[in-house]
Amino acid sequence: MDSTPASSVDFDEVQLNSLGYKTSLHRTWHQLESFAASFCALDFIGTVRSVFFLGILAGGPAAMWSSYVITMIFMWISAAVLAEICSALPLSGSIYIWAAEAAGPKYARFIAFIVSFWTATAWMTFAAGNSQTTANYLVSLLPVFDIDISGGINNGNIKWRAIVWAVSEGIFLLSISMNFLPPRWYSNVFKFTLGVMAVDFLLNMIWLPIGVSRSYGFRSSHDAFLTTNNGTGAPAVWNWMLSFLFTSGTLVGFDASGHIAEETKNASVVAARGILSSAIATGILSFITIILFLFCTPPIDLWLTLGAPQPFVQIYALALGKGGAVVMTVIAVLGLVLNTSIAILAASRLIFAIARDGVLPGSHWVGQVTAQGQPQNAVTVMAVFGVLLLCTILPSSVAFTSLISAGGVPTVAAYGLIALLRLTQTPYDFKSSRFGLGKFKIPFYISAVLWNGLLVAVYVSPFTLPAGVIFGAVTLIAIVTWYVTPEDRWLRREHIKAMLEYAERPAESQLACPNSRCRVWAGNDVLQEVMHAIIIKITTIRWGLPCLIK
């Protein structure tokens, strides 16, 4: 039964109308779904496991855990910056709107084009890339059971690429199909995904150490914390910096809660809270997982001899036996399929929002919603794009990897750009935010700019060249599109100004919301209070996570 007072829904509708949009999407989701949208899209256990080998190559164990501490802190700061503006502008596909409004009326439309192209590239390529990652788990069972493939298990073998492609397409279509479920049914997908992630985490925490103790044994503290490795061929300092490719990969995508804001009740509070709480929970659990794997995985020399596309499948076989490897692989695959489905959900809302504003070819059709309030045409666009992108595996796995390598760059660039614009253009605007940063405002903006700028430099470095080339190409296309698109076709100046003016109203004066929850949050610098609580907890060696997600 829906326990949210009708007044909350009315407030959401009035707020959306005041921002210049009509209510068209269903609004039936709550805090759990908002949190799960980002937390499950990040998928801490699946992501750490999938990119762990990258960390082994770039810096080794010493860089992995130490770089993650840095990453965790600064990603939390970036999440706080986004939560602040999300609370003022809780809109579907909202990250490009946040960037536009942060730029102010003069540059808003230009920035909106840039960031919409960036984020669409990131989210749309992620779904296809994640499907191939999932396929790699399944096909990695073949060498575990000594099943040979004619021509060998390597990307130079067209038969092997065909197998990976076919499995990837099947996984992608399965993930897409779940996005056609009714909203109330999809709420169960969120809950089931959280359950799968919990089971996966607990089995790795309990069963894996037992298996390791009975097989090849744990790594020593020196091996787990102090060992270094240079598997990239980069100079020593830059090789260490490349470890941020691994650490940041586990914490990019917490903006997903914002993408479903128009489907969330009490969105100005719930969506912002979903962004921040999911980033904090993912950071803590990812760090625990990294430490666990550093003690439980074999020596680096053995890592380098594993021939499967996903080395963890063979590690599970070494520690738990073939049966254990099958169980852990099935759970990992199920989690990644669900993770991909939720990522598609977030991406489709972004596509819907861009189409609603009128810039995409066929925008009228793409921006349509069903009678149940779902943008299923936008999901169809995602399906067609993903199927075609996966086909590039067939001629060359390098071509496919190059295309999806740009997925992380646009997202962190958008995070940094929003912080930069808040710092330089609108530092004291968005008074309607219920997650005001208070006295942490300027330090947080500066930190987010420097941190995400560093990540962009790492992502586009010569050792990850395709990402930089594709990122530059996407940016150029966005600029050309902005230049040739008439102003009355997309995000008119009047609309931008109206949104900014509405977001400038103090929260307590926007609407007399009769829902007591609205009144409690309105006008309070909640995030400032939360940061004070965290600092107090840290200084007393106690963790204050419950105060964030209580």
What does pLDDT average to over the chain? Answer: 84
375-379, 407-411, 524-528, range with the lowest pLDDT: 524-528
Ranges 43-47, 287-291, 400-404, 477-481, most confident: 287-291
Cβ atoms within 10 Å, residue 304: 13
d(CA 432, CA 419): 18
What pLDDT was estimated at residue 220?
A: 95
What count of residues does the chain have? 550
What pLDDT was estimated at residue 221?
A: 95
Q: Is the pLDDT of residue 513 over 90?
A: no
pTM of the predicted protein model: 0.87
**Structure confidence at residue 25 as a pLDDT band (50, 70, 90):** confident
Angle 267-296/6-18 helices, nearest 10 degrees? Answer: 100
What pLDDT was estimated at residue 403?
A: 59
Closest CA to 186 of 331, 24, 349: 349
Q: 530-544 burial, b if ≥16 CB within 10 A, otherwise e?
A: bbeebeeeeeeeeeb
**Quick one: average pLDDT of 28-33?**
91
Reduced to 3 states (helix: H, G, I; strand: E, B; else coil), residue 58 is: strand
Angle at CA of residue 224, ends 223 and 230, nearest 5°: 70
Q: In a 10 Å sphere around its CB, with 0-12 CB exposed, 13-18 middle and 19+ buried, how is residue 277 labelled?
A: buried
**Quick one: average pLDDT of 418-444?**
91
Q: Is the pLDDT of residue 550 over 50?
A: no
**Quick one: average pLDDT of 224-234?**
90
544 vs 412, more confident: 412
Q: Are 37 and 260 in contact (CB under 8 A)?
A: yes
d(CA 502, CA 523): 15
DSSP assignment letter at 29: B
Reduced to 3 states (helix: H, G, I; strand: E, B; else coil), residue 27 is: coil
Reduced to 3 states (helix: H, G, I; strand: E, B; else coil), residue 47 is: helix
Structure tokens that stand for 404 in this block? 């999806």
d(CA 454, CA 448): 10
Q: Which is it for strands 229-230 and 58-59: parallel, antiparallel or unpaired? A: antiparallel
Q: Residue 353, Cα to own-chain centre: how many angstroms? A: 18
Place of tokens 């009047």: 494
What pLDDT was estimated at residue 188?
A: 94
**Structure confidence at residue 300 as a pLDDT band (50, 70, 90):** confident
**Type and span of the H or E element at 241:** helix 236-241
Q: Are 122 and 483 in contact (CB under 8 A)?
A: no
